[in-house]
Structure 1
């Protein structure tokens, strides 16, 4: 901004005069700035509300399906032998589970190895220090049984090889391998649990030094081997096998931890001869409390959003309130400014048509009758209803309450029809909730379709508001230019006047001098 030296001859407060002359332009610019500020606040409110609606929309989407409800719960009589969980497809009742075997990886613990001088053995120790003299010796890593997968792989080492070289080749052969220097032992295991992944370490029959090498490495006959095995269970008289300790059977997820019955031959076991007194009892029931809590959580989320919308729609008018200028803020305390601006923000969605549309869509979908097996049901059929305009708290007339809900002071004393319905006919309640959720989900989704004014998953005209905000920025910039141009115009006029006055004063001084002489 140029530095202007004005009013030096005339003595006029030129800055104040120019400010008054362009005040009409400044007022116009200030009007657009305030409108843009309010629009920005409105965008923030819509974004926050839209985020909540989207989150609710997604959760409602899950309730359209059986998987959205905790319909079954199950218990195990002995969790040290088996733990169990149930999906909605699980059969209600008690089942008998025998655990005959748990899944085990093949595991080999090597014998302690020593050097000729009884020195410390580390991964860098050479095999020659263990008494190996040949340049190249081979041994085999292969399947432990006919059912085991994979092929036999040959390990080749020599006197100059190190313990580390042996470990790396065993890993390359598909084993988990480690050498513990503190215990001077190799520890090997199959990569997965199960009978089919078990392994054996064997000498190469064509290499006379192979057995000597395995003994030197502690991997010969003195090594301790635990064979890989499958998990075998008998559920309701039927045998099941798994390479892991986890089973999924008819809606039950079973994880076995210990054996209930010791049998000599898993292949030939007589399942009918098993002693049921040793079995784990699996009890599955309908989780009425879980379903109740799911419905209650849904209604709580719905109430929070619909109450917020209702409050925004019914907000008091802020007709005589406008965003404050910097000068106005400087004359007020921070709390007064905050109170002033909150008054405006709270009113920005008052009687908003977009808000009214989404509210009506949601409330209408919640009141629709739903037919199940030829009979119509509504939320009130299960003791769920609003309190009505006369009884509800301010802006909570659209909220739903569950009769008998101990957490609701308004309806806790009423008969609990929802829990009674869940106890007697849970399938009907779930079918009703699935259809209700589908109606609500569809209603919200319809309001979030994209068009020229809004983006997908937006319940307000975000595109339009962004365009308006940009337009305000452009308009404000144009008025700033107009103000600057007008100021320059008037300052030039006053500058010319000051110049003329200066010349006049000079001429007057000359004349005065001539007459005085």
Structure 2
């Protein structure tokens, strides 16, 4: 804040005068600031209340709406090999259970592979190769997922593991143990998998590789590759007519093709997958070619700056490139034209390094030594940096410079047309691309489709897998042919198979079979952790468990009452009329305790008669009064002794008849406990439906409204945030207005002081001329 010397001539208290003149404007500011403060307190209060409401919604209420959470019966067993949970329909009494077999996933562990093997080791180096007329194929079958994994000279152990994972298996190569660990992701007999080997003809492998090339298999990502492999699996072995091939391949992308039946539709959908990826590749290649033309044009534009054959630097760089050729750093067949082009590229790199040094000098990062001129120092530093670069670095730096030129506003010539690098780049790419679309790309698509059809046909004619005589090639990686046997197997070298199995449990004489070790039947959920001996049984008992359900309901009512009571207190809070947020001057005149008490008075009433709060209160109370129908009869919470009292000041709080902790209702008959003991299913159905009504009502209240309310929020947080932003802007504008007003008054008073000073000087001068003493 500036220091001002005022009133020295006039003797007036200018500061007080100006303060009084702008106080009226500051009062306007205070009103807006008060609104902002009150809104901030309201936001804080709503955030706190919203957290509590959301907790009720996600915790107690979410549990109450699901019938499975009402444990009206309890099963007990002293044997740790089995745990039993009883549902509402489970029959009371003693039960017998025997556990013949536990469910298991299929596990395969290889024997130890050589110590020097890693995931990057090729399968060829491990002896997994085909014959002279065919290629080794590993067939992986996991449920409906099938993979024909072709092994070539470059295929690694890691590639094999990836193929297993693609087929939906867990697979890992332990680098410490040098073993493969393979397993199904789910338990149960149906989760069994097979890994077998065979041989595919060279013609079949070539056709498959051609298909992959036509659809850019390597560049479509793992999800795309999975779609392609699934499509090939669908098509394998199918007799597809030329008419169907041509029908699919002639249609535009996105055009619906309907099959005669479900089986033909699967074939069409699989062909469409291959066709669409082939089309994308052609279009991508065409666009890439258009982009390459632009890049080449920009590179040519960049090096065209350095064409003076007599330039000393250019001559020096040409000699450097020639030296790289002579020393074998660059290819020996590099032509004179290529040498000149490379020299120009390097000139661009050196020029850019000089620009970087100059920028560092201008920014203060580098200082020019006293014994050198700026130009000498720039040349020296740039040359030093240039000399550290190898030819590949120089080439990469030039390409990077060309990329930056995309953002330039300079113009270049591409295909005989002048384009602006930044503004017209994408348009030029589209122009070249569209030209190709209208011309060559149409022919290219036809050629690709024809090639795709031919190779798909060729693949399925020649893709038969034949057995390989002799020992399994899988033995080279510590495995053997895995045929999905139902029995466990081990070998002396450490190779082992644990077969996939279902769980087999007998309950009260009835044999139950499950995919996992948890089986549900007759209202019982049985989890087995061990087996019983032949003829051995385990007993467990099922009895009513009304207390646990009663306690869950009671805890929910407590949580509901707590939040309802707080909302009532906020909505019906005493008025704070006459209490406004304190100004800084007012706070200076009060103690901390007085300030806290004053502000608490306002904050406690901040949601008084709030419309949003009123709506939430009304919705929650109405939902808890819902009547539901069960077996032709209507029930509500009051049917089970859960209701409000006659004391209107409680404003909707609920009580449970016979609750020993409730002084008003503890002496009444406990209707809830009695109903749970006599007809627990009806109680559960009613309570869950009433809870669901409240759950849905609260969910609706906190549904998102664009520009008004965020999801899972009961109040209009976005509207409040916008209002707060508007207040902040308004306060800033008003504060600027006060400052401008003060400055205006200070200038006016300063002008008055100047005028008075001049008058005094004139008076003094006149008095001096007349010989008068001041």
Q: Aligned-pair distance for 1:56? A: 2.8
Q: Could you say which residue in structure 1 is the equivalent of 2:79?
A: 78
Q: Is 1:428 the equivalent of 2:720?
A: no
User: What SS does the corresponding residue of 1:22 show, helix, strand or coil?
Assistant: helix
User: What SS does the corresponding residue of 2:526 show, helix, strand or coil?
Assistant: strand
What are the within-5 Å matches in structure 2 for residues 377-416 of structure 1?
377-389=635-647, 396-416=650-670
Distance in 2, Cα, partners of 1:509 & 1:88: 111
User: What SS does the corresponding residue of 2:582 show, helix, strand or coil?
Assistant: coil
User: What SS does the corresponding residue of 1:460 show, helix, strand or coil?
Assistant: coil
What are the within-5 Å matches in structure 2 for residues 137-216 of structure 1?
197=192
Return the structure number with greater relative CO, CA threshold 8 A, min gap 6. 2
Q: Which of the residues 482, 488, 495 maps onto 2:737?
A: 482
Distance in 1, Cα, partners of 2:636 & 2:109: 67
Distance in 2, Cα, partners of 1:45 & 1:167: 57
Distance in 1, Cα, partners of 2:700 & 2:477: 73
Relative to structure 1, the CA distance from residue 179 to residue 122 in structure 2 (aligned partners, 3 Å threshold; closer, same or farther) is farther
Q: Aligned-pair distance for 1:426? A: 1.2
Relative to structure 1, the CA distance from residue 50 to residue 175 in structure 2 (aligned partners, 3 Å threshold; closer, same or farther) is closer
Q: Any conservation in 2 of the 1:105–1:189 contact (CA below 8 Å)?
A: no
Q: Is 1:314 the equivalent of 2:576?
A: no
Q: Higher mean Cα deviation, 410-419 or 482-491?
A: 410-419
Q: Any conservation in 1 of the 2:88–2:680 contact (CA below 8 Å)?
A: no
Q: Could you say which residue in structure 1 is the equivalent of 2:101?
A: 101
Q: Is 1:509 the equivalent of 2:767?
A: no
Q: Aligned-pair distance for 1:409? A: 4.3
Distance in 1, Cα, partners of 2:606 & 2:38: 8
How many residues align structurally?
Answer: 469
Q: Is 1:258 the equivalent of 2:258?
A: no
Q: Which of the residues 509, 521, 526 maps onto 1:237?
A: 509
Q: Which of the residues 459, 469, 480 maps onto 2:724?
A: 469
Distance in 1, Cα, partners of 2:546 & 2:183: 45
Structure 1 gap ranges (5+): 114-120, 126-134, 156-164, 263-274
Q: What TM-score, normalized by structure 2, do the two folds share?
A: 0.51
User: What SS does the corresponding residue of 2:770 show, helix, strand or coil?
Assistant: helix
Q: Higher mean Cα deviation, 13-22 or 59-68?
A: 59-68
User: What SS does the corresponding residue of 1:516 show, helix, strand or coil?
Assistant: coil
Deviation string 1:226-281 (CA, Å, 9 cap, x unpaired) is: 8646332223333344465333445433232332233xxxxxxxxxxxx5xx3223
User: What SS does the corresponding residue of 2:8 show, helix, strand or coil?
Assistant: coil
Q: Is 1:351 the equivalent of 2:352?
A: no
Relative to structure 1, the CA distance from residue 283 to residue 315 in structure 2 (aligned partners, 3 Å threshold; closer, same or farther) is same
User: What SS does the corresponding residue of 1:55 show, helix, strand or coil?
Assistant: helix
Distance in 2, Cα, partners of 1:512 & 1:171: 108
Relative to structure 1, the CA distance from residue 213 to residue 483 in structure 2 (aligned partners, 3 Å threshold; closer, same or farther) is closer
User: What SS does the corresponding residue of 2:578 show, helix, strand or coil?
Assistant: coil
What are the within-5 Å matches in structure 2 for residues 366-381 of structure 1?
366-381=624-639
Deviation string 1:72-91 (CA, Å, 9 cap, x unpaired) is: 433335223x2223455655
Q: Higher mean Cα deviation, 251-260 or 24-33?
A: 251-260
What are the within-5 Å matches in structure 2 for residues 444-455 of structure 1?
444-445=698-699, 447-448=701-702, 454-455=708-709
Relative to structure 1, the CA distance from residue 238 to residue 47 in structure 2 (aligned partners, 3 Å threshold; closer, same or farther) is same
Distance in 1, Cα, partners of 2:615 & 2:703: 13
Q: Aligned-pair distance for 1:4? A: 3.3
User: What SS does the corresponding residue of 1:316 show, helix, strand or coil?
Assistant: coil
Distance in 2, Cα, partners of 1:176 & 1:19: 80
Q: Aligned-pair distance for 1:294? A: 2.4
Relative to structure 1, the CA distance from residue 171 to residue 54 in structure 2 (aligned partners, 3 Å threshold; closer, same or farther) is closer
Relative to structure 1, the CA distance from residue 172 to residue 463 in structure 2 (aligned partners, 3 Å threshold; closer, same or farther) is closer
Q: Aligned-pair distance for 1:357? A: 2.8
User: What SS does the corresponding residue of 1:28 show, helix, strand or coil?
Assistant: helix
Q: Any conservation in 2 of the 1:387–1:397 contact (CA below 8 Å)?
A: no
Distance in 1, Cα, partners of 2:16 & 2:50: 47
Write 1 or 2 for the structure with the bigger share of helix: 2
Q: Any conservation in 1 of the 2:71–2:88 contact (CA below 8 Å)?
A: yes
Q: Aligned-pair distance for 1:308? A: 0.5
Deviation string 1:296-326 (CA, Å, 9 cap, x unpaired) is: 1221121111100111122122112111112
Distance in 2, Cα, partners of 1:414 & 1:369: 23
Q: Aligned-pair distance for 1:46? A: 1.8
Q: Could you say which residue in structure 1 is the equivalent of 2:70?
A: 69
Distance in 2, Cα, partners of 1:2 & 1:295: 68
Relative to structure 1, the CA distance from residue 284 to residue 167 in structure 2 (aligned partners, 3 Å threshold; closer, same or farther) is farther
Deviation string 1:436-464 (CA, Å, 9 cap, x unpaired) is: 22443454455446668842654434444
Q: Aligned-pair distance for 1:43? A: 1.6
